[in-house]
Structure 1
Amino acid sequence: MADTDAKAPRERYRTQVRGEIKQHAWEQIASAGASALSLNAIAKRMGMSGPALYRYFAGRDDLLTELITDAYRSLADTFRTAAGAGPDLAALAHALRGWALEDPQRYFLIYGTPVPGYRAPDDVTLIADEIMTTLLDACAALPPDGTATPFDGHLEERRQWAGEHPAPPAVLRRALTFWTRMHGVLSLELAGHFTGMRFDAALFFESELRELLSSET
């Protein structure tokens, strides 16, 4: 019991320091991009030695993996909450935009330019799969699309990205169309490309969403 009591303050301190390291990492990403992430620079900012900081994260990729995992888990939880009342593609779209606007750097870390030399481990991919499964469920709940396209056959043979989801090719195409168009609008908005164009990005997002939904009914 005494040993457990002794460990508790150390674990709390370790959790606190790891949280501070991640916060500095996000600040570094915001100013220089994820590819410039440096544990030594973070250690210097925190008044620590490099070896001391490496007791909390084994290296850059270890820290990057935790940040990416946190981001994916946050979006997966946001999607799960949005889908709590049942599959709803519009609800997921609004949840995605709200989540992205809340923290653009978090959004770009997982949906922006990949970090050179970094490969996400399988457990991160599993969380990303949760997000896609929620999206596929919402797309499958819409009225069936009876119009087959040449791309459907292609997707039928290349559906590994959908995991074990039983969605037919038309639903896979519907999900991909939604995913790419919503991310296309969000990526341009968050990168500031709409600023000088002087239109309401929120209204444009809603217009794109309405068009997507109307094309599926």
Structure 2
Amino acid sequence: MAESDARTPRERYRAQVRDEIKQHAWEQIATAGASALSLNAIAKRMGVSGPALYRYYANRDELITELVRDAYRSLADTFRERGGAGADLAGLAHALRGWALDDPQRYLLVYGTPVPGYHAPEDTTRIAGEIMAVLLDACAACAAAAPSVAATALDDHLGDHRDWAGDHPAPSSVLRHALTVWTRLHGVLSLELAGHFAGMGFDPARLYAAEVDALTGR
């Protein structure tokens, strides 16, 4: 039996309008980029006045925050589902690429060029931390199955600079591996989605797969 919606008709209507506003926002971002996002332009597309739209989002930054929050939550849910299903580090890496290619604008909003004048609130950082926690779990499992290696200078540094890892108990070698995985995979994805591989004559999927193999010791 479907779960009932306990919201009032007014609350459901408000949620529907907010969702419609976000859909128009994504279309506008795809056309002109997040920095050009305009509530007034969205109001015009929806056939309502600017002041009417401001009843749903107080300003551009509040709307961007909602989009950023949705994007991070989508990736966190994707990682959690894959991690809960037993996906290893390689599985998470390929899930990341699938998520990014499924909606490039969503990826670029959170991992591309920052929107000028916009600062994400603390709760989006918390959601991003959920993503990193799943990655750290996968890297820890990967390390447990691999031969031990000597600590590096970066390991020593990360031992004292691990705020980004939250309360995850991973040793500094796992922190280093997670950062290496994260930066290298995002490097390939960012270049691919920005079109920098166009015309180079190779398949970016093969480059990404090779990076995954190298990072997982395959």
**Alignment correspondent of 2:57:** 57
How many pairs align? 209
TM-score, normalised relative to structure 2: 0.92
**Alignment correspondent of 1:92:** 92
Work out whether residues 143 and 174 of structure 2, in 8 Å CA contact, stay in contact via their aligned partners in 1: no
The one-letter code of the counterpart of 1:157 is D
The one-letter code of the counterpart of 1:213 is T
* Superposition deviation, residue 198 in structure 1: 1.3
**Alignment correspondent of 1:22:** 22
- Give the 5 Å matches for 1:28-43: 28-43=28-43
* Superposition deviation, residue 31 in structure 1: 1.0
The one-letter code of the counterpart of 2:189 is L
* Superposition deviation, residue 93 in structure 1: 0.4
**Alignment correspondent of 1:178:** 181
Q: Distance in 1 between matches of 2:150 and 2:99?
A: 33
The one-letter code of the counterpart of 1:166 is P
Q: Distance in 2 between matches of 1:207 and 1:49?
A: 51
**Alignment correspondent of 1:4:** none
Work out whether residues 155 and 173 of structure 1, in 8 Å CA contact, stay in contact via their aligned partners in 2: yes
- Give the 5 Å matches for 1:159-170: 159-170=162-173
Q: Distance in 2 between matches of 1:45 and 1:102?
A: 25
- Give the 5 Å matches for 1:151-166: 151-166=154-169
**Alignment correspondent of 1:147:** 150
Secondary structure of residue in 1 paired with 2:8: helix
**Alignment correspondent of 1:187:** 190
**Alignment correspondent of 1:124:** 124
TM-score, normalised relative to structure 1: 0.93
Work out whether residues 25 and 42 of structure 1, in 8 Å CA contact, stay in contact via their aligned partners in 2: yes
* Superposition deviation, residue 11 in structure 1: 1.8
Q: Distance in 2 between matches of 1:12 and 1:214?
A: 50
Does the alignment pair 1:113 with 2:116? no
Q: Distance in 2 between matches of 1:170 and 1:119?
A: 31
Runs of 4+ displaced beyond 3 Å: none
The gaps in structure 2 that reach 5 residues or longer are 1-6
Deviation sequence 1:170-200 (CA, Å, 0-9, x none): 0000000000011011111111111201111
* Superposition deviation, residue 143 in structure 1: 3.0
Secondary structure of residue in 2 paired with 1:195: coil
Deviation sequence 1:67-92 (CA, Å, 0-9, x none): 00000000000001111133610110
**Alignment correspondent of 1:3:** none
Deviation sequence 1:108-150 (CA, Å, 0-9, x none): 0000011111111111111000000000010011135422111
Secondary structure of residue in 1 paired with 2:84: coil
The one-letter code of the counterpart of 1:212 is L
Q: Distance in 2 between matches of 1:123 and 1:80?
A: 18
* Superposition deviation, residue 163 in structure 1: 0.5
Work out whether residues 87 and 141 of structure 1, in 8 Å CA contact, stay in contact via their aligned partners in 2: no
Q: Distance in 1 between matches of 2:86 and 2:173?
A: 21
Deviation sequence 1:47-74 (CA, Å, 0-9, x none): 1111100000111111011000000000
Q: Distance in 2 between matches of 1:13 and 1:167?
A: 45
RMSD: 1.3
Deviation sequence 1:31-53 (CA, Å, 0-9, x none): 11111111111111111111100
The gaps in structure 1 that reach 5 residues or longer are 1-6
